[in-house]
Amino acid sequence: MSGVFSIDRIEDFLYQEAWLLDGKRWKEWLHLYAPDCRFWVPAWKDDHEPVDDPNTGLSFIYYDSRGGLEDRVWRAQSGMSVASTPLPRTCHQVTNVRCEEAESGRLLVRSAWSCHVFDLRAQAQHTFFGHYEHLLASDGGKLSIAEKKIFLLNDVITGFIDFYCV
Amino acid sequence: MDALARLHRLIVDDPQGKDFRVHRDVFRDPEVFDWEMRHIFEATWVFLGLESQVPSPHDYMTTFIGRHPVVVSRDGKGELHCFINSCRHRGALVCHRAFGNRKYHVCQYHGWTYDSSGRNVYLKDRDKAAYPPSFDKEDHDLVSVRKFASYRGFLFASLAADMPSLEAHLGEARWFLDLIADQGGEGVECVPGRVEFRYRGNWKMQLENAVDPYHFTSTHASYIQVLERRQKTAAADVPTSIYTNIRSAGIRRGSFAFARGHAAMWGDTPTPQARALYRSYETLVAKHGEVRARWMFNTRNLVLFPNMQIAENASLQLRVMRPLSVDATEMTLWCIGPKGEPADGRRQRIRQYEDFFNPSGLATPDDVANYEDCQSGFAARSIAWQQGYVRGFEASVAGADRFAEEIGLRPERSLIGPAELGDETAFHSCYREWLRLIDAGLRREASGSAAK
């Protein structure tokens, strides 16, 4: 698959995801994900060991389908969540992108990320950062996210986190 | 005006006049925060963690009692100790990690070494030290806290010696801890994965919120809507919740106020079968009787004053509050469950927990945003008093109501009503203890300085 898709194409896909998140174009963002995708932000069980089994350890966010993400998008845009009203301004940066072949013709993409958050309510800013692992699938030349693992390295959380700031 | 007079202007507690008021300075005055540290957090019993978090010889965990960094350590014989995490020499921390296993704690500055019971066992280059004889007369062990005890695996400590026993301190609120501890044959454990967050607000916002049923339908409106949307789409792969039928008619909510600042609220659970624990329902009835088993499935939020809360509703959460300053608070959160829980039950417990709780869930962020908004509003110094703490006043009765009676509980006050009653009287016990402790501390200090 990496033979079909150049590193430029993969990087552009990750940048597109970040762009859609920061632009709050979340319906389009959801369409990057397969309906049976896994979205996983594990908590840490020790200083340098993230939870490695979502069924025996805790995660910040864990879904094994897109439905959970759709709930979150709906809630953030509902106007009924005080934490999401007003929504913060966010700026994702994705870098250090490396690809390797994975099972079933998929591509495992590792990268580093940070997200600057400007909290309009508090007029204050903070940053979350960590590593991503995207598992990408190709269907007729169109990429989709089969799985995204987000390792959040600074997990003493300022206020709260949601899908749009990790 | 002296400190005592200032203190007593902050709470109006007048049962005869049917009045209870809290002054906003309790949330915004740095002097009040200093009183709280010295006379509450560094004086009374505070919660540290679970015995099951340090299961093996030489396991340790680090936490705080007020501003004091402390270590809970299990020695080689299996006995637990709690000492202040500060080398006797120059003061450096001797334990640096949240959790670890160490037979010896070596201070990295000059090498003073302590065993896992806190005893000083080695002083680097002692034989060449040329200390005067007076040095040997001093105790060089890590400083033990004055009181340290476990109640059914829940560990508490106090920096003050003149404390009642832990059991006496917990009093009738123990019944609510028993109800957690009895859910499994071998007690409860923390699910791996600690979560911490900090919010820009006073710690008592969190203290109140845990026994505040009034905020639920407004603060968590988006969460309730998400649940209703899920029911319509009936997606099988999203978590069910005990709140799925929260709008059902006839849901009751009650509260109990206990001595020494503890409080609890409880409610009917419309869908107990949505709980992970429901798998054990028959076993629990056989072991604990129908009434206690039913109470295990009621929603229950417990506040053990000043720093611990247990919320058993959407799942089972343990919260430890650590005030950082008058307007900053750190929360440490754990999903807890019975040891030996079946794998599918544990999975369900974790999914439900993540759905509702945590700074990454669908409910807690809205609580946090509200705390921060309140703290911002407190900048209006010209407004002295909060309003509405008498909500529920006319429904509150002295002693036990029939629900307390059915479980043999003797609270100081009880209340029952429809969910919409939104009781706020459960906080009163917290503020009474708050006032009692600071009052006693300020008087102690005043008599101490008078004696000098």
The alpha-carbon radius of gyration of chain A (Å, integer) is 16
What does the angle CA A59 – CA A62 – CA A68 come to, to the nearest 5 degrees? 145
Q: For the segment A74-120, what is each residue's pLDDT rounded down to a tens digit?
A: 999 999 999 999 999 999 999 999 999 888 889 999 999 999 999 99
Determine the residue of chain A that is closest to B340 in CA distance: A56
- A-chain CB neighbours of B358 within 8 Å are 60
Q: Which of B132, B156, B135, B130 is nearest to B70 (CA)?
A: B156
Mean pLDDT of chain B: 94
Q: What is residue A49's three-state secondary structure?
A: strand
Give the position of tokens 């503890």.
Answer: B262
Q: Tell me what pLDDT residue A103 has.
A: 87
Cβ contacts of residue A17 below 8 Å, gap of 6+? A29, A32, A94, A145
Residue in A with minimal Cα distance to B228: A71
- The answer on pLDDT for B245 being more than 80 is no
Q: Which of B243, B276, B244 is nearest to B348 (CA)?
A: B276
Picking from B54, B64, B222 by the largest number of A CB atoms within 10 A of its own CB, the best residue to mutate is B222
* Segment holding A89, helix H or strand E: strand A89-101
Q: So what's the ipTM on this one?
A: 0.96
Q: Which of B336, B360, B372 to mutate to test the interface with A (most CBs of A within 10 A)?
A: B360
Cα-based torsion angle of the residue sequence B142, B146, B149, B155 in order, rounded to the nearest 10 degrees: -60
Alpha carbons within 13 angstroms on the beta-carbon side of residue B190 total: 22
Q: What pLDDT does residue B242 have?
A: 65
Residue contact B369–A159, C-beta within 8 A: yes
Q: Shortest CB distance from B221 goes to which of A64, A80, A121?
A: A80
* Band of residue B313 on the pLDDT scale cut at 50, 70, 90: confident
Mean pLDDT lowest among A154-158, B138-142, B146-150, B267-271: B267-271
Average pLDDT over every residue of A141-150: 95
Q: Tens of pLDDT along B372-415? A: 999 999 999 999 999 999 999 999 999 999 999 999 999 999 99
Does B238 score more than 60 pLDDT? no
Annotate B218-278 with DSSP letters as a single string: HHTHHHHHHHHHHHHHT-TTS---TTTTTT-TT-EEEEEE-GGG-EEEEE--S-GGGSGGG
Q: Helices A67-77 & B221-233, crossing angle to 10 degrees?
A: 140
Amino acid code (one letter) for B95? C
Taking an 8 Å cut-off on Cβ atoms, the answer to whether A159 and B199 are in contact is: yes
How confident is the model at residue B216, as a pLDDT?
A: 93
Instruction: Kindly give the residue spans of alpha helices, DSSP state H, lying in A4-128.
Output: 7-22, 26-30, 67-77
| Helix (H/G/I), strand (E/B), else coil: A8 | helix
How far is residue B335's CA from residue A54's CA, in Å, rounded to a whole number? 13
DSSP character at residue B108: T
Q: Which residue has the tokens 């010896």?
A: B104
pLDDT at B57 over 90: yes
Does residue B244 surpass a pLDDT of 70?
A: no
Joined tokens for residue B399: 């002693």
In angstroms, the separation between the Cα of residue A63 and the nearest Cα of chain B is 8
Average pLDDT over chain A reads 95
Mean pLDDT across the stretch B129-134? Answer: 96
| Interface contact flag, A43 B199, Cβ < 8 Å | no
Say yes or no: domain A7-165 is CATH 3.10.450.50.
Answer: yes
Residue ranges of chain A whose CB lies within 8 Å of a chain B CB: 41-47, 51, 54-65, 67-68, 71-72, 74-75, 78, 80-84, 121-122, 124, 155-162
The residue extents of the domains of chain A are 7-165
Domains annotated on chain B, with CATH: 46-149 (2.102.10.10), 170-441 (3.90.380.10)
Model pLDDT, residue B208:
98
Do the Cβ atoms of A91 and A22 come closer than 8 Å?
Answer: yes
pLDDT of A3 over the 70 cut: no
B403-452 tens-digit pLDDT = 999 999 999 999 999 989 999 999 999 999 999 999 999 999 999 877 65
Contact between chains at A47 and B343 (C-beta distance less than 8 A): no
pLDDT value for B239: 57
Mutation target among A33, A38, A70, A75 for the B interface, most CBs of B within 10 A: A75
B289 band by pLDDT with thresholds 50, 70 and 90: very high
Cβ neighbours of A45 in B, within 8 Å:
192-194
Smallest Cβ–Cβ distance between A156 and the set B196, B200, B222 belongs to B196
